[in-house]
Chains A and B, each alone.
Chain A
Amino acid sequence: MRRNGAALQPVRGLLLPLLLSLTAAADPAKAGIFIEPPALAAAVAAGALQPVAERLPAEPSVVALDGPGQAPGQWGGELRTLVSQPKDTRMMVVFGYARLVGYDTNWNLVPDLLAGVDIEQGRIFTLRLRRGHRWSDGAPFTSEDFRFFWDDIVNNKELTPGGPERFLLVDGKPPRFQVVDETTVRYSWEQANPFFLPALAGARPEYIFAPAHTLMRLHPRWRDRAELEQQAKAEGQRNWAAFFNLKSQLYRNDNPELPTLEPWMLTTKPPSSRFIFARNPYYHRVDRNGRQLPYIDSVALTIVGASLIPAKAAAGDADLQARGLGFENYTILKQAEGRGGHHVRLWRTARGSELALYPDLNAEDESWRPLLRDPRFRRALSLAIDRREINQVIYYGLAIEGNDTVLPQSPLFRPEYAEQYARRDLAQANRLLDEIGLTRDGDGIRRMADGRPLEIVIETAGEDPTQIAILQLMTDHWREIGIRLFPKAEQREVLRNRVFAGQAVMSVWFGLENALPTASTPPNELAPTSQQQLNWPKWGQHWETGGRAGTAPDDLAAAELLRLYTTWTTAVSLDEKRDLWHRMLAIRADQMFTIGTVRGVPQPVVVADRLRNVPVEAIYNWEPGAFFGVYHPDTFWFDDGLKEGG
């Protein structure tokens, strides 16, 4: 084998090939010797399946498995896990985490399905596939699958009336797509596209390919249209496009006839309350002993009510479970340890803040808006919060107190971003409020400029009782600076609509979604770039719609953030990007556009005792991370030294 992995610095415009630490040249996988998984041996013997060496790509991805606590393993077993809704079959795409490029555990982008990516000037991306790579039904995975997606899906007005997704557009213009040869495709833009590779690596990935050999049968370019329409009607669909969309969703993962590149493929036809995923015989990864991954033969996804998941996990009905478990379930799970043959591990969540306050700078109310826009007011609110108490009362002191900013694991982290105005200081908070001219009345509550008592209604989606509990703690903290707080629970949609309309004064949501950025991660969450940002929905909408709706930011600091962000999208050098990130993070910490509380909240993960290669301590995060995906569950294996069901 020549090269089996490459670390990418996607924006620098060059590929940094990095040889993985290949300890022994004598590794069977290096020598091209592969062993047949016993689960497939019968099919191979019967001639129904080619032998493993022919199923693998010419250059399979060899997994090192030399990290701490990792070891190459054995095949076999069924992994049981619980989900709460039928649509969670998509979780297997998240956990499987087979991506064209994906994050490694240091949050660098590395090729996975691809053999490599070449990037020129951050704008020309040449994707090189693995020769001989196959879909789970045995059909070759080639540049034809990319061409089909580009010509027949994205550029088909009936299937994609809105045109290409945002990540494929730079200044509103799509890339030039070229098929170089059978295993090489190229996407070129006129300017750098820093969003392209991260989108491919997402927990919910953007696809730029599709199984052409299967989907051509559903496409009028390759079939008689009338006949196809008839088939669609017979299946109860409006037209062929709806039928095509129903059958072609790789992410939704609900069609057993659709081939996949993930480690496990769906074998149960929905609807069902239990989905079985069998090993993909053509999966492209092997361990250094020449064993094709995944180790585990099948995954059973059982659908149970969300409130039953903690109880069932405690009873040992799951071999690997984090979804549906919250920190408050830890005691129950821990007490059940041993009885169900499992142990509980505490991973960390990686959001910017578990609960962040979003003062609405676009509030309609004429007396609230200037107040919320006054950074001194936001700083005072933050200074008054007793984050220590929140941490002790709700999280036993195991969370990290601080602002809503990047996590210490991120290379962009600096302590001052997390600590500025985050330590409780009532004297300073009161001084700031006095400075603004908010005087206290007889009952100790401050008065607003128009004479109303300073009562902040904080609106929350109310799905999580923990949020209400934290807000109730904050009620007492703020009373000491003469501000009354009223938590108000609403439905998610109502909350959003009220915020978008500027009717809410302050709302509650998680902090930064991606708190583990590198300099090449787009800093769009820091600047007003989306209506979904609850602290400045109208400014975000203005950016999103190109000025057709919303209003332009008229706050100096927010406008500066937007300017830095636009500079970032055109910046080429990594140093420049890093510098821009730091400037944005500093402004954010100083301005307190969102007010964070605690982060790094522990996430209980139930792991069967006989399951190996699951990290003991890790980050449990959606983006980046894909929950378990970044730890590659295809490398997890059952140790038969322990009795089954243990």
Chain B
Amino acid sequence: MNKPLPHFVDTSPFDVYETERLTPEQERFYMAPQWRLIWWKFRGHVIAVAAAVALIVFYVSILFSEILAPYGRDTKHTEFIYAPPQSVHLFHQGRFIGPFVYGLKYHLDLETLKRNYTPDRGQVQPLRFFCLGEPYRFWGLVEGRFHLVCPARGGELFLLGTDRLGRDMLSRLIYGARISLTVGLIGIFVSFVLGISIGGVAGYFGGWIDAVVQRIIEILKSLPELPLWMALSAALPVSWSPILVYFGITIILGLLDWPGLARAVRSKLLALREEDFCTAARLMGASPKRIIGRHLLPNFMSHLIASATLSIPSMILGETALSFLGLGLRPPVTSWGVLLTEAQNIEAVALYPWLLLPMVPVILTVLAFNFMGDGLRDAADPYS
């Protein structure tokens, strides 16, 4: 006799906490999506957060270079060649004035032909903030005159000194960031696409495809990096415009950076493809592309992001090194590497040390990326 079982519904309220009582924190934790968990963990990493903030500031600054820079990228001040950095003062003769600089008194040492500048104590030049100054074209499109800070009317403001044509180093650094910081991003994008697709294919299919890819990676990895960059960038047609050269350089950097990422992707995929959800997807007829893209990659995307963050600095350093060697970008394109090329002589070291300042943002950026990458890597696996 097949009698249906009696239908029973417990009418008493369901208590999810019946077996185990969770605190609100625990509940929040278990209910939170993965990205939030990563954020919580990352937040605890003070240095990484500081680095992230610094990087955000840097990257936001490249959106507003024209406004942040007191002068244009190529504005020459031929009466202030090789002027040293001016310091900002607040008090003049014991009286508070607000931020100001002293004017510069120029004197040519006829004996050594050295241009000497001394602060002129009689000339107080208060800085102007949110002011109208030198006109520019915002991103080459919109005319504007608004600056964050301007020199006093008729005065000058060289917080980081000037170069051989009297161009303000600070402004050039700010404009240089546009190139130097984005080289890394575009390069990483190229290397990401290559690394994930090649590594994904190798890991998912395995077998001879994997073997071939692995050997190629080993060969690529065994080539010394700098000479290879140099050879490839020497192969860029010299008749290219500076902007094309810029893209060429980023692509070269990206083309050589993917093997490490491809290996990481491959090893992860080798493990994940044996999981049940993967088999299930395959049984349901999903294509390899869909399985890799939708089911496997998201499982370790956080890890990928962390490793990408760690390899951006090597891109930035790569551009700097190539430009420094005269094989990368060339003036009038201004990147930090190009600026450092101009400091490549004994005069810069002995007489005009402020020409070496582009080192500072390079170091800061690379360190910031490394710290942030460290924090991200720790946070990327929130369940551990």
Query: Which A residues fall within an 8 A CB radius of B?
Result: 307, 310-311, 314, 328-332, 334-335, 389, 392-393, 396, 398, 462, 465, 468-469, 472-473, 475-476, 486-487, 489-491, 494, 498
Per-residue contact bits, chain B 152-181, to A (CB 8 Å; 1 contact, 0 not): 000000000000111000000000000000
Contacts of B331 in A (CB 8 A): 468, 472, 487, 489
Q: How far is the CA of A330 from the CA of B114 in the complex (A)?
A: 9
Given contacts A310-B346, A311-B346, A335-B350, 9 further A-B contacts (CB under 8 A): A331-B114, A334-B111, A335-B114, A392-B78, A462-B330, A465-B342, A469-B164, A476-B76, A486-B332
| Interface hits, B330-378 → A, CB 8 Å | 330-332, 342, 344-347, 350-351
28 residue pairs from A and B, CB less than 8 Å apart: A307-B345, A307-B346, A310-B346, A311-B346, A328-B345, A329-B346, A330-B113, A331-B113, A331-B351, A332-B346, A334-B114, A392-B78, A396-B108, A396-B113, A462-B330, A469-B164, A472-B165, A472-B331, A472-B332, A473-B76, A473-B165, A475-B74, A476-B76, A487-B331, A487-B332, A489-B331, A491-B238, A498-B239
Identify A494's interface contact among B113, B238, B350, CB under 8 A. Answer: B238
Q: How far is the CA of A562 from the CA of B111 in the complex (A)?
A: 47
Whether a CB of chain A sits under 8 angstroms from the CB of B112 is yes
Per-residue contact bits, chain B 183-215, to A (CB 8 Å; 1 contact, 0 not): 000000000000000000000000000000000
Contacts of B238 in A (CB 8 A): 490-491, 494
Whether a CB of chain A sits under 8 angstroms from the CB of B81 is yes
Q: How far is the CA of A556 from the CA of B184 in the complex (A)?
A: 55
Q: How far is the CA of A310 from the CA of B350 in the complex (A)?
A: 12
Identify B113's interface contact among A307, A311, A334, A498, CB under 8 A. Answer: A334
Q: How far is the CA of A314 from the CA of B166 in the complex (A)?
A: 26
Q: How far is the CA of A392 from the CA of B165 in the complex (A)?
A: 11
A469 touches B351 (CB 8 A): no
Identify A472's interface contact among B76, B108, B350, CB under 8 A. Answer: B76
Per-residue contact bits, chain B 20-52, to A (CB 8 Å; 1 contact, 0 not): 000000000000000000000000000000000
Q: How far is the CA of A621 from the CA of B167 in the complex (A)?
A: 33
* A314 and chain B: residue at smallest CB distance: B346
A332 touches B239 (CB 8 A): no
Contacts of B350 in A (CB 8 A): 332, 335
| Interface hits, B105-140 → A, CB 8 Å | 108, 111-114
Tell which of B166, B331, B342, B351 has the most Cβ of chain A within 10 Å: B331
* B108 and chain A: residue at smallest CB distance: A396
Per-residue contact bits, chain B 279-319, to A (CB 8 Å; 1 contact, 0 not): 00000000000000000000000000000000000000000
Q: How far is the CA of A417 from the CA of B255 in the complex (A)?
A: 56
Given contacts A310-B346, A331-B347, A396-B113, contact A472 B74 (CB under 8 A): yes
Query: Which B residues fall within an 8 A CB radius of A?
Result: 74, 76, 78, 81, 108, 111-114, 164-166, 238-239, 330-332, 342, 344-347, 350-351
* B75 and chain A: residue at smallest CB distance: A476
Q: Per DSSP, are chain B's interface residues mostly helix, strand or loop, or mixed? A: loop
Contacts of A398 in B (CB 8 A): 113
- Return B19 CB to nearest CB of chain A, in Å: 75
* A498 and chain B: residue at smallest CB distance: B239
Identify A334's interface contact among B112, B166, B330, B332, CB under 8 A. Answer: B112
Q: How far is the CA of A101 from the CA of B41 in the complex (A)?
A: 85
Q: How far is the CA of A311 from the CA of B349 in the complex (A)?
A: 11
Identify A489's interface contact among B108, B111, B165, B330, CB under 8 A. Answer: B330
Contacts of A498 in B (CB 8 A): 239
Q: How far is the CA of A469 from the CA of B350 in the complex (A)?
A: 21
Contacts of B81 in A (CB 8 A): 393
* B341 and chain A: residue at smallest CB distance: A465
* A462 and chain B: residue at smallest CB distance: B330
The 4 closest A-B pairs by CB, nearest first: A334-B112, A331-B114, A311-B346, A494-B238
Q: How far is the CA of A475 from the CA of B164 in the complex (A)?
A: 16
Q: How far is the CA of A393 from the CA of B165 in the complex (A)?
A: 7
- Return A527 CB to nearest CB of chain B, in Å: 30
- Return B257 CB to nearest CB of chain A, in Å: 27
Given contacts A473-B165, A489-B330, A489-B331, contact A332 B78 (CB under 8 A): no
Given contacts A328-B347, A329-B347, A469-B164, contact A393 B78 (CB under 8 A): yes
Contacts of B112 in A (CB 8 A): 330-331, 334-335
Q: How far is the CA of A469 from the CA of B167 in the complex (A)?
A: 11
Contacts of A476 in B (CB 8 A): 76
- Return A578 CB to nearest CB of chain B, in Å: 39
* A344 and chain B: residue at smallest CB distance: B112
* B242 and chain A: residue at smallest CB distance: A488
A490 touches B239 (CB 8 A): yes
Tell which of B111, B239, B351 has the most Cβ of chain A within 10 Å: B239
- Return A548 CB to nearest CB of chain B, in Å: 28
Q: How far is the CA of A329 from the CA of B347 in the complex (A)?
A: 7
Q: How far is the CA of A490 from the CA of B347 in the complex (A)?
A: 25
Q: How far is the CA of A432 from the CA of B350 in the complex (A)?
A: 47
Contacts of B166 in A (CB 8 A): 393
Contacts of A475 in B (CB 8 A): 74
Contacts of A486 in B (CB 8 A): 332
Contacts of B345 in A (CB 8 A): 307, 310, 328
Tell which of B111, B112, B347 has the most Cβ of chain A within 10 Å: B112
A332 touches B347 (CB 8 A): yes
Q: How far is the CA of A195 from the CA of B101 in the complex (A)?
A: 64
Contacts of A469 in B (CB 8 A): 164-165
* A346 and chain B: residue at smallest CB distance: B113
Q: How far is the CA of A396 from the CA of B111 in the complex (A)?
A: 12
* A390 and chain B: residue at smallest CB distance: B78
Contacts of A334 in B (CB 8 A): 111-114
